Amino acid sequence: MSYTAIDKMRRMNRKRFGKDLGPFLPEPFAGEKRGMDLKSTALRFLDRRCTGLRHDAGIEKAERKEKRYYGRSLRPGQIPYNMQMDLDRLCLKNELAKFIDSGVAEDAYTVYYAFIEMFIGEGGKSQSMVELLSEFESNASSLLMSHRDHYSHSVYVFALGLAIYETNPWFRQVFSRYYGFPDSEGHASACAFLEYWGLTALFHDVGYPFEIPFEQILAYFEVDRKKRGPESVYIAYKNREPLIRIEPAEQEKLKALYGGRVFRDVTELLAAVITEKLGAAYGFTEDFMDRKIRSKAGCPEENGYFMDHAFFSAGRLYQEFARILKAEKIEKYHIDALTAIMLHNSLFKFAIVGYKSDNLKAPLKAELHPLAWMLMLCDELQCWDRTAYGRNSRNELHPMAVDFSFAGQAIRAKYYYDREERDKITAYKKQYAVWEKEDGDPKTMPRLKAYSDMAEKKQRFSRDIRQIVDLEHCPLTVLCTTRRADHREKHTYLSISSFLHIYNFAVALHNGYLYDGREEAADREQMEKDFNDLSLEYKISNINQVRAFDRYLNVIGCFYTDQPVDFEMLSSFTPEMAETIAPLEHVRWVRDHEMMGWSAGNIYETLVPGADKDTQADLREQLRMHKHTVPRGSSDEEIKAHYLTLPPAVQGLDSLPFNSMLRLLKKYDGVRIYRLK
């Protein structure tokens, strides 16, 4: 049983009430038990290897002694603390499953939110870091010559790492030995990997907003296709102190972690730790590494006239650690995540291993830095399903999908390209055949990025990966083909805006302060406090309610945008619109509960004779049973029919929030709702 605290509550309820009332676990996803694809293996890792994640034996002991619970559900104190931790893990698993199915940024957001809530702090505290990355890319990157998504990309990278850990015992052993876990198959090692790897993978590209302006300036002066170099106009960053500052309390903690060493700033810290890990193997000194890292932001001319976002990602994440975790909670593995991020883009490739040079050194062995090895491997593998923003990127041919198999402790990746682009592929193949027959000079080889990197005989794509990371114990096979594109799973609708305020909307909708239109009555601080009294499960449910809004608008023939358009603006929903939206929202609510293992019933209202409403509510959360949901396996039509049987006051819970949502969009996001006809 992988969710031991939930199972323990079930046994306690059976003993208390004399029958098996729950809580029950949801059914596993298709293929999850034995599948070797990306989704099955990543979810299996979360489900089976991470038993006991974030459990606290001390809190459990205090609960027994004090005869009260420390865990949060709809409100604090309703369930055991360790049961809440199990439910948090189930939330993360479900949101990752949704993302792997869709790949859209909105589904990536909830993965970020769940992880931040579990391992860094309240998800709202770091909301701007992850929301702004997505919005900055989509709004600022179209002016670049070449640029592709890094927001959803990072969640795919996260999933890939989980899949490799789950299926490769060699890597599990390497990781466990490196971090001092005696049992490579144990839950403690897997739980640590989830945290360390999540910090590395999910945040490795958060510094991209610093690289984008640099590339925009170059792109403006590269319109005549001149190569970047001494004649380029470029920018460099000054006053980097706020990004690399280490406060005195943090210096003291780092001094304790690293043998009494006092670090002046984050750059010195990164240089010292990277040199400790890789210096002897690759023959470089700390002074060399310190100079290379410091040049990243201020001297692009020393780095091929490129700006390395990895420097900014590492610095930005360190400041998040310092702000939220505080000095006392920073540990070596946090710094390991930062060094892996610093290495992943160009530092290791060009300053250490000599990538694409005549002095190529050995690829990185996982034993030297497991997190960096995993990040560089997964970062290269994740080249599919990435939105293209740059002018050149949109004219290239990148894979739209992939099928992975992780069977046999190996990686087999089959990348799919859009069949509608076959004219480009045919033209490339003809050019390649002529080149192969008449020329053969690697310098003149025709290319169709990124298709040609996988299709050519020597397969540049997999060769480049092998030059970066040692794959002796993790063999890689890459194939490519074409198929018809299917965009239906993307759930793409006409509604569009910056939509930076998902968290703000969720907070406001939970509090319901706008239902009577009294916007001025809101107390932002109290609203956030009330929201943060919820468990992660309920927070995610509120966020998913916000995210469903564009889908509901699409059904009623409306859309929202922050752009001026020649359509009729909507000030409120008609009763007919509400009647259409409300059953859809009820279906979403039921499906969310189904994925979290809730069962249908109202026995919690009568189990304890004379119980007051608070006691009944606590029992509802402990049994995970709700009178307004339906039996598992019900169809959408059955759920909609069930909605019609609910009392009007209950039905209103599914429709009232959306007139509030209309006002919230106007207030927070500057958008308006329009009718299509």
Task: Note the pLDDT tens digit of each residue in 18-67.
Answer: 999 999 999 999 988 999 999 999 999 999 999 999 999 999 999 999 99
Note whether 197 and 184 are within 8 A (CB): no
pLDDT, averaged across the chain: 89
Sheet with 558-561: strands ordered across: 558-561, 672-675, 569-570
Task: Give the Cα separation of 463 and 466 in Å (integer).
Answer: 5
Residue with tokens 């690759």: 282
Task: Give the Cα separation of 436 and 439 in Å (integer).
Answer: 6
Note whether 49 and 190 are within 8 A (CB): yes
If one counts every other C-beta atom within 10 angstroms of the C-beta of residue 261, the result is: 14
- In 3D space, the residue among 400, 397, 426 whose CA is nearest the CA of residue 484 turns out to be 400
If one counts every other C-beta atom within 10 angstroms of the C-beta of residue 244, the result is: 21
- In 3D space, the residue among 557, 411, 566 whose CA is nearest the CA of residue 493 turns out to be 557
- The pLDDT of residue 147 is 42
The DSSP output letter for 123 is G
Task: Give the Cα separation of 205 and 108 in Å (integer).
Answer: 14
Cis peptide preceding 23, ω within 30 of 0: yes
Query: Can you count the helices (H) and strands (E) in the chain?
Result: 28, 10
Q: Supply φ then ψ for residue 587, to 5 degrees.
A: -60, -45
Three-state DSSP class for residue 356: coil
Q: Cβ-count burial of 87 within 10 angstroms (0-12 exposed, 13-18 middle, 19+ buried)?
A: buried
Three-state DSSP class for residue 78: strand
Task: Give the Cα separation of 169 and 20 in Å (integer).
Answer: 38
CB-side neighbour CA atoms (13 Å) of 171: 30
Provide the token pair at 293.
Answer: 């890292």
Positions of the chain with pLDDT under 50: 141, 143-147, 389-393, 513-515, 517
- The pLDDT of residue 324 is 92
Task: Give the Cα separation of 346 and 324 in Å (integer).
Answer: 29
Task: Give the Cα separation of 300 and 306 in Å (integer).
Answer: 5
Strands 411-418, 476-483: pairing kind:
parallel
Cβ neighbours for 650, distance < 8 A, ≥ 6 positions apart: 628
- The pLDDT of residue 513 is 46
- In 3D space, the residue among 131, 132, 141 whose CA is nearest the CA of residue 388 turns out to be 141
* Proportion of the chain in helix, strand, coil states, percent, rounded to 5: 60, 5, 35
- The pLDDT of residue 455 is 87
